[in-house]
Chain A
Amino acid sequence: DVKVTQSSRYLVKRTGEKVFLECVQDMDHENMFWYRQDPGLGLRLIYFSYDVKMKEKGDIPEGYSVSREKKERFSLILESASTNQTSMYLCASCPGTLSYILPTYEQYFGPGTRLTVT
């Protein structure tokens, strides 16, 4: 079974703090994704990565950055947390080559990190 793990289930941080959310997958997938989930909005893509040290902006990258130093690990960084970043954050991975991800590929999701910024 594919397993995607996230470092924390719940996190409470103060405004202005630097926040790291970690995601690890064990299936040697090239592609990893970070989403945030808010009620009534579904999931929105923040950043994704095709390979180590590669990253692409998603739909809502403002206020976030990412790091992928190892294939299995994809980190989401909030440089200076703000209250509007209070949300559920979900990490996902899927197979696919560097140059092509089939639209039919399933993404495998972690359990999520519920971040509260006060």
Chain B
Amino acid sequence: AQSVTQLDSHVSVSEGTPVLLRCNYSSSYSPSLFWYVQHPNKGLQLLLKYTSAATLVKGINGFEAEFKKSETSFHLTKPSAHMSDAAEYFCVVSDGSSNTGKLIFGQGTTLQVKP
């Protein structure tokens, strides 16, 4: 069965410093992996997705993630945090065991950006 673990429930960085949000997954199939972001009082927005093409995936707003099969990880990074990056981030794996389109969400990581 697929599962996702976000290793930090809360991450705090200073503006201008790098961001690292960690995600490990478990999947018996070739996974499709996503990062979604949720700003306060907003719906979820797709940041980026991995679909078995390039292992380094670039997303919106300067974020990127690297798929590492040997480590079963899909960590999200950004070189320089901006105040507008403060939000909740979800690592998500698609249930490849069926054709349902079912998504399995991690518990979420709240990113705080300090001035």
Name A's B-contacting residues (CB within 8 A): 4, 9, 31, 33, 40-45, 48, 56, 58, 90, 92, 94, 96, 99-107, 109-112
B84 within 8 A of A: no
- B46 touching A104, Cβ below 8 Å: no
Bound form: Cα–Cα A92–B46 in Å: 12
Query: How many A-B pairs fall under 8 Å by CB?
Result: 62
- A103 touching B43, Cβ below 8 Å: no
B107 within 8 A of A: yes
Contacts of A41 in B (CB 8 A): 107
Which interface class (under 10, 10 to 19, 20 to 34, 35 or more) fits B? 20 to 34
Shortest CB–CB separation between residue B96 and chain A, in angstroms? 5
Bound form: Cα–Cα A99–B103 in Å: 17
Bound form: Cα–Cα A106–B90 in Å: 14
- Would you mind naming 5 contact pairs between A and B with Cβ atoms under 8 Å apart? A43-B44, A43-B103, A92-B44, A103-B31, A109-B36
Bound form: Cα–Cα A96–B31 in Å: 18
Residue of A whose beta carbon sits closest to that of B100: A101
Which of B34, B90, B99 contacts A100 (CB under 8 A)?
B99
Shortest CB–CB separation between residue A10 and chain B, in angstroms? 10
